[in-house]
Structure 1
Amino acid sequence: MIATLFSVLTFLAVIGSGLAAGLFFIFSNTIMASFARLPAAQGIATMQQINLTIINPAFMAVFMGMVVLALVLGGKALLGWSEAGAGWLIAGAVAYVVGCFLVTIIFNVPLNDQLAAVDPSSAEGAALWATYLSDWLPWNHVRTVASMISLGAFAMAFARTA
């Protein structure tokens, strides 16, 4: 029963980290490049709306739920180090918590907060936008890669425990 529960949790971590990887990938690959081609005021206003809209129950359930899943699965793996897939669970947990969650909180959210405070049509906004694009995107690339690593690691753990 416990093994089945952890298999289900690992499967959910595969799905959750895959959703995170897809979200961050589309921002890195397409959305931010599209915004950079817009006039600053339009790019700022659109990103401000995205930053407001993304804080919703579905996104938060995946984003924060993955933190909980990663900590539970990582803790289980530490306690059962000799069990099949334990190393993969730890790798997935560390990749998600550090590379996705902490990077978001430490780097991307403060940049989003700065952007939220400017008038899109102001000179200050235009200056901030140029810096925002160059500072926000590399951290999003980190989140993209980290969530892809998390996805792969959780998938490997699932394959070894299912």
Structure 2
Amino acid sequence: MDMDPATTKRQEPRRVQESRTTRLVLGTALCTTGLVAGVFGLFSYAVMPALARSDDRVYVEVMWNINDVIQTPLFLLLFLSPLPLTAIAAWRLRHPWPWTAFAAYVLTVVITVVFHVPLNDALAAAGNPAIDPARERDRFENTWAAWNTVRAVTSTVALGCLIPALTSARGRQACCARGACPW
């Protein structure tokens, strides 16, 4: 079936614009995922090992303070943004890389909700660290650190999958600009 050249020309800018929008969404997902992966990675290779050198009271107090100050609208926005952004990009691209990134990031959020939030809440509910910091640290430290390393890996996997997805989106834009877009 031959398409009318006038119709093709009218559709071309829309396809190119859709591709640019997809790339913007994907680029934003890449940035927010990278920031979150960086935070979790930093905790795994620097913050938690440094805190492990501290006595119980310092360890509990610092984790208490970190959990208190990190709960901001900005962190929540950065932490949750990769979910809808990656899902939108995956839906628009219909390519396995963003879907894989989405699945890995969903796992990151699930780990946070299932393991970290309850541990952080229990530490906060324990009250003043002077009560029994050794007991609170024992309940918290190893489990929190281990699952943080897992979520650092899952968020880094998500980040790694977004890079070829962005490359795929660029290829799609070039293809659509030539009027040869199969999507």
- CA RMSD across the alignment: 1.3
| Structure 2: runs of 5 or more not aligned | 1-16, 171-183
Give the 5 Å matches for 1:89-104: 89-98=98-107, 100-104=108-112
**Identity across aligned pairs (percent)?**
29
Q: TM-score, normalised by structure 2?
A: 0.79
Equivalent in the alignment of 2:46: 30
Q: Over residues 37-72 of structure 1, what are the superposed CA-to-partner deviations in whole Å (9 max), with x where a residue is unaligned?
A: 111111111111111111112211110111221332
Task: Please say if 1:46 is aligned against 2:59.
Answer: no
CA contact (8 A) 1:17 1:147 kept: yes
- Partner Cα distance (2:87, 2:135) in 1: 39
CA contact (8 A) 2:97 2:164 kept: yes
CA contact (8 A) 2:60 2:136 kept: no
| Structure 1: runs of 5 or more not aligned | 81-85
- Partner Cα distance (1:103, 1:10) in 2: 23
Match of 1:121, SS?
A: coil
Q: Which range moves more in the overlay, 35-44 or 19-28?
A: 35-44
Equivalent in the alignment of 2:124: 116
Equivalent in the alignment of 1:68: 84
Match of 2:161 among 150, 153, 162: 153
**Greater Rg, structure 1 or structure 2?**
2
Q: Aligned residues, how many? A: 153
